[in-house]
Amino acid sequence: MPAPTSPADLFRHSLRLLLDKDIPAWVALWAEDGVMEFPFAPDGWPRRLEGKEAVAAYMRHYPDHIDLHDFPELRIHQTTDPRTIVVEMRGVGRLVESDAPFDMTYIAVVTVRDGHFTSYRDYWNPLAVQQPGADFTGSSR
């Protein structure tokens, strides 16, 4: 089944793939030249990933560290650019290593072209990654 092409539908589909822990299918939603940015990333964490391969490498071990259960309070806002949405959401689950609860609030600005993510600016709380088991990026902190 092909992925949806509208930004809102593609984003909802991507969340389902994350809940299913299907990282290869999630990465397949990215354009080859897609860029993922983390403006609030703490020192030692990546701030910008350029290209699908960099996004894949970053996300490869995500399910081994964070077990997502739900994305409650999902709100998707249309912008004046039909290719771009602003998303407000929470991701809840648990940290695999410690079994501690995971509860992160996000705001993302997402742009889609031809049914693929081309830009994803992820504004998340950098304090939350200071919990043991939250560091899935292999950062050098």
DSSP-assigned letter for residue 82: T
pLDDT category, 107, cuts 50, 70, 90? very high
| pLDDT(128) > 70 | no
CB atoms within 10 A of CB 32: 9
pLDDT in tens, 39-86: 998 888 899 999 999 999 999 999 998 999 999 999 999 999 999 999
| pLDDT(98) > 60 | yes
What's the pLDDT at 52? 98
| pLDDT(135) > 80 | no
Helix (H, G, I), strand (E, B) or coil at 84: strand
Q: Distance between CA atoms of 3 and 114, rounded to whole angstroms?
A: 10
Overall pTM surpassing 0.85 (yes/no): yes
- Judge whether 8 and 117 are in contact, CB under 8 Å: no
Helix (H, G, I), strand (E, B) or coil at 118: strand
